[in-house]
């Protein structure tokens, strides 16, 4: 297991290197820089040049790249041009918001999606199957920002149950945190719920036609035991694969949801940095987000072993 983990961690390094290189190259070729943001759009060329010199933006790209990787090897992601803080602090300050949003959305998407998928599979071709899959299709089809505004309109403006946006840290008020995360997580979960529901239905239908399920039925096992112990566990492997990919989608999708609900997460940090050309934040933020994605996928690989002894035993 340790060898497997070490191999997976080592294989992550080239991925992170490519992410850092691509982000660096994109930044290098995109026109515009941070000077107009710092000095104002009506600043003089001399003022802008002074800022470029101060930030080292006047240096050749190769030199800037060497400096960036040199710092990176020492664990230093640099300092934001605009936030007056280090990139690490800026990202870590916001990571809990994005991770908790993605995690709650993931739980909602998986729980609701798996339940819908199971119902659809065991009531195959019934109105419950049609209804569940219609709901899943609805989830897949609606843009999350539109669904977010509908949720705000219904639950905040109409019913007044939940806030329209803003973030309350759990350390300040757990109830406030839960209230502030409910609608964003629901909005983010809706699309992925559809994916999980369809995948679960398909996997369950496949498993339910296997011989061992027929055998289990013939043995007179209870329906509940057959579905959850024998069928679902075997159907989970492709679902877990989807969950790994979903993590990336949720981290990416959080950008839009964070904007709609004005949550101070990593997504908004990176989008703001792109709009204002705060290069260290873009590079550092992308790297940390990519590292999170890679780490979650390693966890998913480990989960395969837990779910399927054949993977664990290398068969």
Partner 1 sequence: MAKTSRLGNAWHVCLAAAVAAFIGLSPMAGQAQTAGGDLVVVQSSNPPSLDAMVTSSQASRNITMNIYEPLFGFSENIRPIPILAESVEISEDGKSYRIPLRKGVKFHNGKEMTAEDVKASLERYQKHGATQTMLKPVESIEITGPHEVTLKLTESTPTFLEAFASPRAPAVIIPAEEAGKGPSEIEFIGTGPYKFVEYVPDSHVKLARFEDYSADESHEGIDGFGGKKTAYLDTVTFRVIPEPGAAVAALETGEVQLLEQLPVPTARRLASNADIAVYENMPWAFLTFIFNMKEAPGDNPKFREAVQVALNDEEVMAIATEGLFHLYHGWMYEGSTYDAGDIGKDHYNLADADRAKALLKEAGYNNEPFSILTDSTIPEHGKAAVVIAEQLKAVGINAVINQVDWPTALNIRLQDQGWNGWTLMMGIEPYLGPAALISTLTGAAPHFRANDEQLDALYQELISTDSEEGRKEVFARIQKRLYEFFGIIKLGETGLMQAARANVKGFKPFRFPRVYDVWLEK
Q: Least distance in Å: CB of 286 to partner 1? A: 17
Q: Least distance in Å: CB of 83 to partner 1? A: 6
∠ CA 166-167-170, nearest 5°, is 155
Which of 256, 247, 259 is CA-nearest to residue 289? 247
Closer CB to partner 1, 148 or 236, in the complex: 148
Which of 288, 250, 232, 310 is CA-nearest to residue 23? 288
Closer CB to partner 1, 30 or 111, in the complex: 30
Cβ proximity of 189 and 257 under 8 Å: no
Q: Least distance in Å: CB of 166 to partner 1? A: 7
Closer CB to partner 1, 201 or 276, in the complex: 276
Helix axes 87-122, 174-208, angle to 10 degrees: 40
Applying CB under 8 A, the residues found at the interface with partner 1 are 30-34, 36-45, 47, 82-84, 90, 94, 145, 148-149, 152-153, 156-157, 160, 163-167, 258-265, 268-269, 272, 275-277
Q: Least distance in Å: CB of 289 to partner 1? A: 16
Cβ proximity of 238 and 70 under 8 Å: no
Burial of 2 (0-12, 13-18, 19+ CB in 10 A): exposed
Closer CB to partner 1, 42 or 313, in the complex: 42
Closer CB to partner 1, 45 or 125, in the complex: 45
Cα separation of 162 and 183, whole Å? 8
Closer CB to partner 1, 164 or 241, in the complex: 164
Cα separation of 264 and 94, whole Å? 6
Closer CB to partner 1, 241 or 262, in the complex: 262
Cα separation of 229 and 223, whole Å? 10
Name residue 79's beta-bridge partners: 86
Q: Least distance in Å: CB of 155 to partner 1? A: 10
Tokens 């498993």 — which residue?
Answer: 207
Q: Least distance in Å: CB of 149 to partner 1? A: 5
Tokens 């009506």 — which residue?
Answer: 42
Q: Least distance in Å: CB of 66 to partner 1? A: 25
């Amino acid at each position: 297991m340790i060898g497997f983990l070490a191999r997976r961690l080592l294989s992550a390094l080239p991925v992170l290197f490519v992410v850092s290189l691509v982000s660096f190259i994109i930044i290098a070729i995109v026109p515009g820089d941070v000077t107009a943001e710092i000095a104002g759009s009506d600043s003089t060329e001399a003022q802008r040049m002074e800022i470029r010199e101060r930030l080292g933006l006047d240096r050749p790209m190769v030199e800037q790249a060497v400096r960036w990787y040199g710092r990176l090897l020492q664990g230093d992601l640099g300092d934001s041009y605009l936030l007056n803080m280090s990139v690490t602090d800026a990202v870590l300050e916001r990571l809990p918001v994005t991770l908790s949003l993605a995690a709650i959305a993931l739980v909602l998407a998986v729980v609701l999606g798996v339940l819908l998928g199971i119902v659809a599979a065991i009531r195959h071709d019934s109105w419950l199957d049609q209804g569940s899959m219609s709901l899943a299709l609805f989830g897949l089809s609606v843009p999350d920002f539109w669904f977010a505004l509908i949720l705000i309109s219904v639950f905040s403006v109409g019913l007044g149950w939940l806030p329209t946006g803003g973030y309350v840290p759990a350390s300040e008020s757990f109830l406030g945190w839960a209230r502030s995360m409910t609608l964003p997580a629901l909005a983010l979960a809706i699309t992925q719920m559809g994916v999980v529901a369809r995948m679960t239905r398909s996997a369950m239908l496949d498993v339910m036609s296997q011989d061992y399920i027929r055998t289990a039925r013939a043995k007179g096992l209870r329906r509940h035991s057959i579905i959850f112990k024998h069928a679902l566990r075997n159907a989970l492997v492709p679902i877990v694969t989807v969950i790994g990919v979903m993590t990336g989608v949720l981290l990416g999708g959080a950008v839009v949801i964070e904007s709609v609900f004005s949550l101070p997460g990593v997504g908004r940090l990176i989008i703001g940095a792109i709009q204002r050309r705060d290069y260290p934040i873009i590079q550092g933020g992308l790297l940390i987000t990519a590292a999170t994605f890679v780490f979650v996928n390693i966890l998913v690989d480990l989960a395969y072993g837990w779910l399927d002894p054949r993977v664990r035993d290398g068969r």
